[in-house]
Structure 1
């Protein structure tokens, strides 16, 4: 991630019957209108250089080294005397670069290892494995991923070498981006939920970068943004099928639907035997008499629910077809 160079200089303690004092030290590569431009004031190196001077020994550190950093670096010290001297330091770098800079699954990606070397260098490109060791990927100077995959994500570096020595580049991270996959909806608590209790639905997906989420109930949008849809107190109006969509810049996916069951709370029941009128869904009127099966409207906790009622002697069995999943035996009482 960094490269460094150093310089040791000497100067006379006294010159022209005057003590020499070092006023300023700095490194530069560029000269504008005869003036040496301090690297710290050079926009190409903004925030990437660090100087250190101990007596007459000065060093330069360059962070996040780039291929464009391979050039001649000069050191200058300025004294309280007119004029001045500088010495030269040439920094050679080995750099691994990736093109394009943003890697998307399925796209073509090129790695390039470059170095200043004479005679010409041979190149090896490595991937850092789980044991933090380099695993050889290619001996080419410019290997190509024709269709890069998520499994290719990782840390890479290259080494350049000739008969005179070798240099290793700083490592780079390849982070392969991809659209959402494997979308699904989970409900907590699982199973049917009684009215008034909280319920949380969570949409999960595998995506890079992280996805944004859209929630649907019966295919109609009910919420945007978060992967979590939370209901503090569930009611009969929340019963239905829920699904979600996960989306980022590189794609989207839709989950299958999950059905949320809501159990209604029954506050009171009155069943009347004999010859009595019951209101049908259609608004018609009929009598129980000797019917063995009938669909009717029953007012339960101030909500209308469609029930199937079958009669057997002095008991009635309720099986809920809509709004709630609830069954049970209830006394059939004369009023």
Structure 2
């Protein structure tokens, strides 16, 4: 039974309850054709909806079929009746909830065409094939996007740079470029950045910009990072009538700076003579920044590396330490109270030798005078 048949069967119900039955059944494809180069891997983002109360039993993708009702399939949730053309190359990345994303590896010219998604629920009439489908274009020089890193770590209040490059055939004219945040198909309601300054999210306005020209650079810079900026970023562009959503994207993790202590002894008590390191970093992820600003008792010190080495450490190194990314005073960490025990008598306050002598004389001289008087 195809989508047309389903609509026919429900026609009377729709007349009685206008819009209630049909509006909840939908498959969401990319609005423009998807382009892929021969030998590459393409990910076709897809989402679907169905009426509340139904439960999805199985789903499948088909190639150049109007209603996706006949085997063989591109992929099947139960791995049934999969075409030899796609066996081992195509994978249904979606689930039985709302995701119907399709991935095809080692693209060939024969993969070009229209792809449609179909799902079947536990209800007798609960079957749906999404129309009109999505068109895949195959070209030896089709556009592919390169991310320099797949994971980035940023500190609240800092600036993060997501390095990115893209290419396309000379005959393709780039129509638009955009960055999206936490959207599978790069086409959310609003963008992080858009080349025509359209539909830009208010939370990224004046904070996000793309560095470089339109030919092959798509590097994104975001200022004043907040916790809400964490998540997955994807670059996409339209060219030659195609839309490319570059997968898998770049994951941004957001943390806070902290001063962490490590000792050669591995013990909590720090004593003069130990080898001790103070490291400025984040417990959540690994920072790529190389220069830092260090503070001791709220005053800047000369160290600029991520780690301060004390070998050996002395009582004079005791103090309140904090750090920040160089050039970003708003990223200052919480303060670490760094206390080193005296090696003369651990647990007692440390005094320099002259202080010890003066104290001892102050105690011993009166005792000595009294003793002499008694002996006389």
Please give the TM-score of this superposition, normalised by the length of structure 2.
Answer: 0.34
Larger Rg: 1
User: More helix by proportion, 1 or 2?
Assistant: 2
Of the two structures, which has the highest relative contact order with CA contacts closer than 8 Å and spacing of 6 or more? Answer: 2
Please give the TM-score of this superposition, normalised by the length of structure 1.
Answer: 0.37
User: More strand by proportion, 1 or 2?
Assistant: 1
